[in-house]
Chain A
Amino acid sequence: MSPMLTIAKREFRSYFDSPLAYVVMCLTFLLLGLAFFMYGGGFWQIDRASLQLLFEYTPVGLSVLVVPVVTMRLIAEEKRSGTLEMLITLPVNDSDVILGKYLGALGLVMALVVATALYPIAMFGWPWNLGVLDTGPVWAGYVGLTLFSAAAVAIGLLVSTLTESQAVAFFITFFVLLILWFAEAAANQVSGGLGDLLTHVCFQSRLEGFTRGLIDTRDVVFFLSVTVVALMVAFRALERRKWS
């Protein structure tokens, strides 16, 4: 197994050695359930066989809770405790460390995303059948969620690379993702170039298409670019220790 996958495996497994992963998962599902079925009448109010709400609420939960919690310790904790030195002086490239950590964290987030498939399965398959579900938007929604998760985790990892404190990493990731989520709402308040920019980088509006079953290449490229850029900056940030 390559060093990168070994690191990813260790990272993924270590989430389950602490109560953190369990607490985050339970909380996310509880909140998602409440929001989906209860908030403003929820699913019942719409009165259609649609999972649009699922794809609207899940990314919010991921942004404000799951991704900041899951990514906050990735590099920050290793720096604080000194284990980073132990890890990097093994025969691994810095890129193995970044990608391994990234895949480990993304694995956990994706496990959560996949677990939300319980909604369509339980509601429109077995044991309940609440109507005929148009599966196209559901698949597109999951493609969107996957791309969104990839970008959000990369941002969280980048932030974790820049600090030694998990708490700082959590709050910065939390605010960055929150701002990116509500960027379009903010864009309406400002005019000119800044407003355009905010509209462009808004995660919420980028995901809208997927939720409606529309996979737009521009949105796909957007999320992939964010992911790649964040990972590259994280790599550079990790490498900087050598020269500082």
Chain B
Amino acid sequence: MTTDVMISASGLTKKFGSVRALDNVSFEVRRGEVVGFLGPNGAGKSTTMRILTCFIAPTAGSAKVAGRDVFEDPLGVRRGVGYLPQRAPLYGDMSVQEYLKFTAEIRGLDDHTFSRRLGKVIEVCGLAQTLGKQISHLSHGYRQRVGLGQALIHDPPILILDEPTSDLDPNEKAEVLRYIDEIGKDRTILLSTHNLAEVEQSCARAIIVSKGRVVADGPLDDIRGKTGHVRYLVTVDEQHGESGHAPPKAIELETALAGLAGARAVNELPTDERAHRFELATDQAGDLRAEIFRLMVAKGWTLLELRRDAQSLDTVFRELTRGEQRLDAGRSAEVDEDDDVDDVDDEPEADSADTEDKE
């Protein structure tokens, strides 16, 4: 991977009236990276993307996309970027082919290049069956694909996709993610979502924003470890011990585990094996596996499973964005009500986006 910076935002701040939608947001995305831009509804994801595509201007700060400044060369920025806004707003009165032709014409593609690119886009986005259909008659999933198609028609090095999988059913979602994987092989992608599973599936790195600020930025594993909570799964045979030692009772095992340095909580987990299964939560980022192993050996217990797990991204996300909420007592809490991670209810995002427009 080369280290060219394809997208760089520095100190982006955006105020809508008295509301700070973005507060000093800085990050970089390098060539070939697929980055998940995560945050609860109203965190400023769409606002950031609109600034990067020169639809709106930041109140302060600057951004460069494909080496071009959003203030000085907005057309240059847009030429190098394929952008899919939230909900893929397309002209319903046009057919898929007409629409793609329209965007290609505006982007200045000649007929020959267009037909060559069209073939590729049809293949990558699975549009062969719908080319002649009117866009207003398509399902959400297909519209989303057409949206991806128009973003790819000029073969841009950078893609900015704003919640490409919201409103889709699980099958459509999986399809779109598969297309993104396909597209992402040779492109830089910034992808916003509030669905963590998607980020885990398609991105290696995530930027988490909350209340207009970046609260975490880095590889997924680093972000998982960020809150410092690590858990261990320990499964021990309950019927046989090693070389004549007695197998442990649940309470013995629990006490032994709780006695380890750094242990915070020990919980028994259900299992269908003839074994005791415990979850051990620790505060520190250090590794207790060796200790646990030594403990088992010393006691002569049969260790069936030992696994170290950084916290799930889900939990980290909640903690990061909630902590931010507590710090932010001055602001209305209403925007972050919905910081759960399911993607079913994304109406509030649309609402807040609308208010942003009006303001």
Contacts and interface: CB of A to CB of B under 8 A. Distances in A.
The answer to whether A binds B is: yes
B89 A83 contact: yes
B103 interface: yes
Nearest to A93: B75
Chain B, interface SS category? loop
B89 A86 contact: yes
Given A1-B105, A82-B85, A91 B91 contact: no
A91 B83 contact: no
A129 interface: no
A135 interface: no
Interface stretch (B47-55, B113-121, B299-307, B319-327): B47-55
A165 to B, nearest CB: 12
Given A89-B83, A89-B85, A244-B16, A17 B93 contact: yes
A82 B86 CA distance: 9
B89 A7 contact: no
Contacts of B78: 89-92
Chain A, interface SS category? helix
A218 interface: no
Most A CB atoms within 10 A — which of B50, B53, B89, B150? B89
B90 interface: yes
A91 B16 CA distance: 25
A15 to B, nearest CB: 10
Contacts of A85: 50, 55, 85, 89
Given A6-B105, A90-B103, A83 B54 contact: no
Contacts of A243: 56-57
A91 B54 CA distance: 10
B127 to A, nearest CB: 17
A81 B86 CA distance: 11
B334 interface: no
Interface string A203-244: 000000000000000000000000000000000000001111
Most A CB atoms within 10 A — which of B86, B90, B91, B106? B106
Interface residues of A, number: 24
A244 B359 contact: yes
Given A83-B90, A83-B91, A242-B56, A91 B106 contact: yes
B89 A6 contact: no
Given A14-B93, A85-B89, A89-B85, A7 B359 contact: no
B91 A18 contact: no
Contacts, number: 69
A161 B79 CA distance: 25
B272 interface: no
A30 interface: no
Contact of A82 (B76, B81, B87, B105): B87
Contacts of A92: 75, 78, 106
A6 to B, nearest CB: 4
B209 to A, nearest CB: 20
A3 B357 contact: no
A242 B57 contact: yes
B106 A7 contact: yes
Contacts of A93: 75
B107 interface: yes
B326 to A, nearest CB: 30
B27 interface: no
Contact of A14 (B53, B79, B91): B91
B107 A91 contact: yes
Contacts of B108: 3, 91
Contacts of B76: 91
A227 to B, nearest CB: 25
Interface in A64-103: 79, 81-83, 85-86, 88-93
Enumerate the 7 nearest inter-chain pairs by beta-carbon distance, A residue then B residue, closest first.
Answer: A82-B89, A91-B78, A242-B57, A89-B53, A17-B93, A6-B105, A83-B89
Interface of A: 1, 3, 6-7, 10, 14, 17-18, 79, 81-83, 85-86, 88-93, 241-244
Given A86-B150, A90-B103, A90-B106, 9 more contacts: A1-B105, A10-B94, A82-B87, A85-B85, A85-B89, A86-B90, A91-B78, A241-B56, A244-B16
10 contacts: A1-B105, A18-B93, A83-B91, A85-B55, A85-B85, A86-B83, A91-B79, A91-B107, A242-B56, A243-B57
